[in-house]
Structure 1
């Protein structure tokens, strides 16, 4: 997601003095990829936050999806008093938030006492893998394709209905349909234009297969900028939809039809801007690229938790669903987990494992860690797969969050790549989710068993 020039502090100050800006949203992405933070007034921002930092409760990186206090995190707990950590504003991310009147937004890095980067913070985890990449003289460029389902219900109405009987914004498959997408253009157009006004370059929007399912795509950019734009867009899209009495879900699998993906595109360039995934002939994948792919495939099972972080995520992985079940790579082959596409310098890998519920910083950190290991370990290239990967005898994606969490937790590679403390922290995140699900009694169980058991 490419960015245009953002706000400078002098410009923001002038806008505040003219009364054009009266609110600055300062936020950091949490483990789930959601923005958490505060709205601050301009005077406080300029007097304190911009030159120093702000503080927030450390439980924001040690909580479940419902922001409940849960056990098992070394970072913080009731025993440790749930103290504060530091929101360190990244001035390079300062921009207008045009979907909210009079607002600007700035993203923050999370730091511990003494302004030490928090190793478990998703933004920090990606930056560490980018530093490792930079030691090879390389930089990463990426794009994320978030699908969502739009409903003609407010979030409050959906809640009160227990998410049953909702009205999708389209009643039939609208994949690439101009007629079908015209029905929802007021909402989608508002999101596109708000992103452009925020300096996030939109390429296109299109319909998708599920009822009310759509996708908005953004220009390629460096990895951190792409992730920053991703989390801002996801927040803004929900807020804009809500303001128009609609609701958006980025759930990986809302119903039994097609799930919502977050296909993640990645390419690498050297210091001269040359695409290192491309061979000297200007067309074929390079040896570097083939080894990078080998690393991605080798470590995909133990990293699947970062690509599919929730119970619901694993419902996407179904045969013939356009979501992968087989760990293979192929040229422009949508049945494989890794699809290679593009021509010339645009040659890139598309990771088709992530769903709409992912944290983009963790996805790209995982991809870089795995791919670089393939290069550094001089892995033998994995042959390209042709045909239908769904029906082939290939290594498979983990079937459940429990399987993926075990592989993630036990992985020596993960501990070496991210640190044992980081792995333990996110393994506990998976345990919290599994414990919550295992304690729940679902509608499926009641319909299945109430009378007939």
Structure 2
């Protein structure tokens, strides 16, 4: 163990003792962005797991969101017996779970048993993307915005009612309404205070357009920490809601009549001295040349990245029509109908907002795809087309290539994309595409209430 690691263990011990921690959560996200792992006692964590890590089945990357085993994966399956992989705690992520007594959490990297990073791990994929940026002379910063719905019923009650009891805490949606926001201050205020106590700053919260829909804005940070924070906040909101007998859902479109829930990402670059790269000091109403190169790469590869930004069957219900979400490969200045919004400034606030992702995405993969697309634009000195000045939903496909309109189309595009294989890897693209094809197969075999209501009687 290096001196640095010894010091880290000492700091961790002080943290555990200061907060009287009894339980430590060790976890990582799977391909779908679901937070999974183990809970261990504080003594075991300090004396064993914090030093050597712990083991978990590689089924972590072999099942879907419902824990069904996925067929056709090269990485794992029944033939290999689902052997172990290693969860290695990143001690810099140790945080207090302020809404649970005597509990802390730490995010893990995922390794093979011989100590090599697992190439399919979303956190490793993002780490590699940030390392590429650093090799090119850049440091990436990112910030997540999440929209979500608060439902009055517990998840057990909703499940018992066959998923029909989606009763929002508000019966109408009034975006930015201070009245609606203040009348939900008990739980929204608790979320904000809990995150602050756990070391994460929410810059703003507000009511959104849908009934019982809210938005939270997480303060920007380095790209990897921004993704870590997004996972922590998302899981925390769900747990805090459950304590109140409620359900917080980050589904892209939980009800056909409601607004979709977005997961917009703001991104920028700085140099190694911390100076903003996207800022144009000579004209604060424009991005820098590098900023435009980065933007052009994101827009150019947006269609190929549809499966990352819109990863579920339900995702495409949100992007259908003019629904405050990017539906094509477009950009504009401070235009909320485009897929990529250029936000200009003479300083560090200069950035690009990716408006395609929903709240149902994997933050590590979304930030990695956005960053790698932008770096592709820089490396190839791409120039963006003219900005969309009006309604981007109405522009022709020649001006803005449509994104995929279904998961089936997105998975095919992603699997066939040469650039996806270049900026990720053949191994990841094949694995991810197979996961999405499996999801489509599950959906196609299910008879839903809409089909019953439409066909059962009349046909």
What band does the TM-score fall into relative to the shorter chain? over 0.9
Q: Which stretch of the first structure deviates more once superposed, 161-170 or 386-395?
A: 161-170
Greater mean alpha carbon deviation, residues 9-18 or residues 234-243: 9-18
| TM-score of the two chains, using structure 1 as the length reference | 0.96
Which of 432, 444, 451 pairs up with 1:426?
A: 432
Determine if contact 2:88/2:111 at 8 Å carries over to the other structure.
yes
Q: 1:16 to 1:362 in 2, by over 3 A?
A: closer
Q: TM-score under structure 2 normalisation?
A: 0.95
1:142 aligns with 2:142: yes
Determine which of 333, 336, 339 is the counterpart of 2:338: 336
Residue aligning to 1:446:
452
Q: What residue is the counterpart of 2:419 in the other structure?
A: 413
CA distance in 1, matches of 2:388, 2:17: 60
Q: CA deviation at 1:80?
A: 0.4
1:382 equivalent to 2:388? Answer no
SS at match of 1:433: helix
Is the CA contact (8 Å cut-off) linking 1:142 and 1:221 kept in structure 2?
yes
1:343, 1:287 → 2: CA distance?
14
- The alpha carbon displacement at 1:278 in A equals 2.0
Checking the alignment, whether the CA contact within 8 Å between 2:281 and 2:346 is kept in structure 1 is no
Q: Distance in 2 between matches of 1:19 and 1:287?
A: 48
1:282 is displaced (CA, Å) by 4.9
1:50-449 matches, within 5 Å, as 50-256=50-256, 257-283=258-284, 284-345=286-347, 346-393=349-396, 394-449=400-455
Q: Secondary structure at the match of 1:349?
A: strand
Render the CA deviation track for 1:307-341: whole Å, top value 9, x for unaligned: 01000001111333111222210000001000112
Shift of 1:378: 2.3
SS of residue in 2 equivalent to 1:140: strand
Query: Cα distance 1:137–1:447, how it changes in 2: closer, same or farther (>3 A)?
Result: same
3-state SS of 2:314 partner:
helix
SS, match of residue 248 in structure 2: strand
Confirm or deny: 8 A CA contact 2:279 2:345 kept in the other structure: no
Tell me which moved more, 70-79 or 50-59: 70-79
Question: What RMSD, in angstroms, separates the aligned Cα atoms of the two structures?
Answer: 1.5
1:61 Cα offset (Å): 1.2
Instruction: Name the CA distance, whole Å, in 1 between partners of 2:17 and 2:266.
Output: 41
Gaps of 5+ in 2: 1-6
Supply the distance in 2 between the matched residues of 1:439 and 1:134 (Cα, whole angstroms): 46
- 1:376-396 CA distance string (max 9 Å, x none): 122233211110111111321
TM superposition shift of 1:16: 4.6
Structure 2 CA distance for aligned equivalents of residues 306 and 212 of structure 1: 27
Quote the residue 1:3 is aligned against.
Answer: none
Offset at residue 14 of structure 1 (A): 4.3
CA deviation string 1:107-150 (max 9, x = no partner): 00000121100111000000111111111110000101010000
Q: For 1:116, what is the secondary structure of its paired residue?
A: coil
Kept in 1: contact 2:331–2:341 (CA 8 A): yes
What is the number of equivalent residue pairs in this alignment? 447
Q: Please list every run of 5 or more consecutive structure 1 residues that lacks an aligned counterpart in the other structure.
A: 1-6
Select between 9-18 and 127-136 the one with higher mean Cα deviation.
9-18
Verify the 8 A CA contact 1:150 1:169 in the aligned structure 2: yes
Q: How far does residue 29 in structure 1 lie from its aligned partner after superposition? A: 1.3
Are the equivalent residues in 2 in contact too, given 1:318–1:324 (CA < 8 A)?
no
Structure 2 Cα separation of the partners of residues 418 and 166 of structure 1: 38
Q: Aligned partners of 2:37, 2:76: CA distance in 1, in Å? A: 18
Relative to 1, partners in 2 of residues 1:53 and 1:377: Cα closer, same or farther, differing over 3 Å? same
Give the secondary-structure state (helix, strand or coil) at the position aligned to 1:117.
coil
State the Cα distance separating 1:374 from its structure 2 match.
1.3
CA-to-aligned-CA distance 1:68-110 (integer Å, 9 cap, x gap): 2121222211100100000010010011111111101000000
Structure 1 CA distance for aligned equivalents of residues 59 and 359 of structure 2? 24
